[in-house]
Structure 1
């Protein structure tokens, strides 16, 4: 495989894989991890070149084909087949791509990339590059900012509606993850022109924070136009990373999506049973 991914695994039940956004790490899912683990076998993963996962080899592109192939290889290594997938931002786009390739049984995409308007694409690029540049400040400066409540609000204001909920340790950890990640620039190069235009045959929900500054809520209209088969949900008062701003709402959205998949599987099994009984009776 291109990269053996680091992950946190908790709970039992149907497999549920959580995929973070660009520059982030698997700890982004901490606000919902324990609750989801009460119902699912939850795997929160660090994407290649982010968090604790090694980057791709230099000759490998950070494109969707490699992202999906690499995750599929890791699914197999974890003993997981067609999990439910939940992704945020870049992770949301990857989740949609996995669903389109038949590698997921359901998809929940939170403010996914891939539905840019011209202005939105530029806004997203500028904000992400600014976050990356500021993360390169000396560690002593990042630590000092994280210790100040005003600094924590400033550092997280573009990502969260409620950055004040973070501790100094969480803000500093996220800053170091963004500072030291090896996949950022190679992902941005591919992401500048990326657009999601596939069709999905699995239960899919696209949920968008109404206060998202990185991928503005107006992008949800493009998603609705391209994916009319999906359920589209607004996340009121949530920013770009809604797991922090309203964890209970995010959990409900995930549960509703997976329940739809389970109902479809039960209906298929019942239809197959009826067909078998009919054929044996004749």
Structure 2
């Protein structure tokens, strides 16, 4: 079984266990990447969900079912994440790229305006887009702390944002593993990592093995972090 199929199978099991029915779609977009993957479900007013850092669309799984009862959900994979095209962030105008990603996706999906919900780096993307195109954002919803609002970053992430050092770490102590997935959730993402299911952690692990996922994440960290 290849890594993409393993990712899809672990995702489908996770969503089935939560009773979440969705459509997995790949859409051509005229933006920072050529193809954007997203999950679509629900009915009602359009709501775009934008995940954080090196994550993927499945991070929203536990709240998708209740949201889908009121909204038409478009749950995107950011560039370099999940099944969206890979991306090298070195030398990229980061803010403009964030705006261009959301704009190109909305254009491709035929959305003139929508509600935006962002978490962490997805919150940063959403804020940038809302400032640039307020007429296209019906409401801005931020979960947790948007990237850049809180300067506390674990040492391991600052090291992973240091070119050269990050390649060494990514091949040794920070290489993809369920243990490391649990660790970063405990340090940065959730209040109680023990409540995360093994199926969720295993799916996150499979996401880190996707083609382009690791180099894309490292180049993103190099772009937005320093050792300090």
Q: How does 1:1-282 map to 2 (within 5 A)?
A: 1=30, 2-3=32-33, 4-56=35-87, 61=92, 63-102=94-133, 103-110=136-143, 111-116=145-150, 120=151, 123-124=152-153, 126-129=155-158, 136=171, 142=177, 145=179, 152=182, 154=183, 156-158=185-187, 159-178=189-208, 180=210, 181=213, 182-192=215-225
Q: 1:89 & 1:50 partners in 2: Cα distance?
A: 14
CA deviation profile, 1:116-154 (whole Å, cap 9, x unmatched): 4xxx3xx4162435689777559x9825x49xxxx94x4
CA deviation profile, 1:162-195 (whole Å, cap 9, x unmatched): 21222222112213324551421222233238xx
Question: Under a length normalisation based on structure 2, what TM-score does the superposition of the two structures give?
Answer: 0.68
Q: 1:171 & 1:131 partners in 2: Cα distance?
A: 21
In structure 2, the CA distance between the partners of 1:101 and 1:167, relative to structure 1 (3 Å rule), is same
Gaps of 5+ in 1: 194-282
Q: 1:45 & 1:33 partners in 2: Cα distance?
A: 13
Q: 2:93 & 2:201 partners in 1: Cα distance?
A: 26
CA contact (8 A) 2:49 2:118 kept: yes
CA contact (8 A) 1:23 1:177 kept: no
1:10 to partner: Cα distance: 0.5
Structure number with higher relative contact order (C-alpha < 8 Å, ≥ 6 residues apart): 2
Q: 1:94 & 1:68 partners in 2: Cα distance?
A: 7
CA contact (8 A) 1:22 1:90 kept: yes
1:93 to partner: Cα distance: 0.8
Q: Give the number of equivalent residue pairs.
A: 182
Q: Name the residue aligned to 2:23.
A: none
Q: 1:141 & 1:90 partners in 2: Cα distance?
A: 20
CA contact (8 A) 1:61 1:186 kept: no
In structure 2, the CA distance between the partners of 1:100 and 1:168, relative to structure 1 (3 Å rule), is same
RMSD in angstroms over aligned alpha carbons? 3.1
- 3-state SS, counterpart of residue 137 of structure 2: coil
Q: 1:85 & 1:172 partners in 2: Cα distance?
A: 28
| Largest Rg, 1 or 2 | 1
- 3-state SS, counterpart of residue 157 of structure 1: helix
Gaps of 5+ in 2: 1-29
- 3-state SS, counterpart of residue 15 of structure 1: strand
